[in-house]
Amino acid sequence: MAETNQYDEQRAANAKKEMDALVYESLKTHEVKPNAIFAKLSEITKAMPIANKMVNWSRVNSLWPMQFGLACCAIELMDFGSARIDSERKGYLFFRATPRQCDVMIVAGWVTKSMVPEIKRLYEQMSKPRYIVAFGECATCGGPWWESYNIVKGIDQVLPVDVFVAGCPPKPENLFAALMKLQAKVGGNIEG
Contacts with ligand SF4 by CB under 6 A lie at 71-73, 109-110, 136-138, 143-144, 168-169
Is the CB of residue 139 less than 8 Å from the CB of residue 106?
no
CA nearest neighbour of 122 among 169, 155, 171: 155
Question: Least Å distance between CB 135 and ligand SF4?
Answer: 8
Q: Report the nearest approach of ligand SF4 to the CB of residue 70 (Å).
A: 7
Q: 66 pairs with which residues across the strands?
A: 96
* Cα 134 to Cα 179: distance, rounded to the nearest angstrom: 11
How far is Cα 109 from Cα 98, in angstroms, rounded to an integer? 19
Nearer to ligand SF4, 106 or 159 (CB): 106
Cβ of residue 105: shortest distance to ligand SF4, in angstroms? 16
Question: Which CB, 154 or 169, lies closer to ligand SF4?
Answer: 169
Nearer to ligand SF4, 63 or 106 (CB): 106
The angle that helices 172-186 and 49-60 make with each other, rounded to 10 degrees, is: 170
Nearer Cβ to ligand SF4 (103/137): 137
Q: Least distance to ligand SF4 from the beta carbon of 143, Å?
A: 4
